[in-house]
Amino acid sequence: MNAEQLGHEIIRQASRFIGLREVKPNADWDNPQTPQRDVALAGELRSLMRPSPWEEGWAYCAAFTEGVVTAALKTLRVAPEQITKWQRVMTPHCVTSAANFKSRGLLSDAPETGAVWLARHGKTSNGHAGIFTARRGSSMATIEANTSLDPETPEKDREGDWITTRLSFLKGRGSLATLGFINPSSILKLIAS
């Protein structure tokens, strides 16, 4: 497996959850476009985020990114002990995760396809995360959880109730300032160490 394969698999895993909306704040989801409740998909999402250690009711953007990377690693048949290395460094707290990867020299300013994007909310310890899918000039496309569809709401930057695609600047958006990217190549270095 190489970084490009991992990046594409991370995006594939994250894309499966696009369109889910919270039906219970930070705890249960459903796609309003489907005729029946998406119980199995919501349950899978919840189980992917639990090792983070995420708990129902908590913000889940970083736990979502950890979970989809974990799912990608499992799909690509990475050994469980290597996956555990990823799970020990990535946390449900964006700013802490950025510091963890930066201290290991694994946080980048230049994103690769499938990278985890980490940002800080103003000067607070709060943050936001997403999966980087594409770049155009100084803009980027991401798949994000715990975000809003409406760019006019206060939740436009973080703490919304959807899993969806978003567009923003590489440097961040609104009050969110990019801390860096955890690239698939960095994930592979981490799990190989």
Instruction: Check if the beta carbon of residue 127 is closer than 8 Å to that of residue 119.
Output: yes
Distance CA 69, CA 48 (A): 9
Measured between alpha carbons, how far is 68 from 8 in angstroms, rounded to an integer? 11
Give the range of the structural domain holding residue 152, as residue numbers without chain letter. 3-192
Structure tokens at 173: 């958006």
Cα 126 from chain centre = 15
pLDDT of residue 152 exceeding 70: no
pLDDT in tens, 115-138: 999 999 999 999 999 999 999 999
- The number of domains in the chain is 1
Structure token digits, residue 71: 């799912």
Q: What's the predicted TM-score (pTM) here?
A: 0.95
**pLDDT tens digits along 37-96:** 999 999 999 999 998 889 999 999 999 999 999 999 999 999 999 999 999 999 999 999
The angle that helices 3-15 and 61-75 make with each other, rounded to 10 degrees, is 120
Going from the C-alpha of 173 to that of each of 69, 94, 131, 140, 144, the distances in angstroms are 23, 16, 15, 10, 13
pLDDT on residue 149 = 81
pLDDT for 154 beyond 90: no
Encoded tokens for 184? 């698939």
Q: What is the mean pLDDT of the chain?
A: 94
Residue 44, sorted as left (phi over 0), alpha (psi -120 to 50) or beta, turns out to be alpha
What's the mean pLDDT in 150-163?
Answer: 71
Query: Do 173 and 157 meet the contact criterion of CB atoms below 8 Å apart?
Result: yes
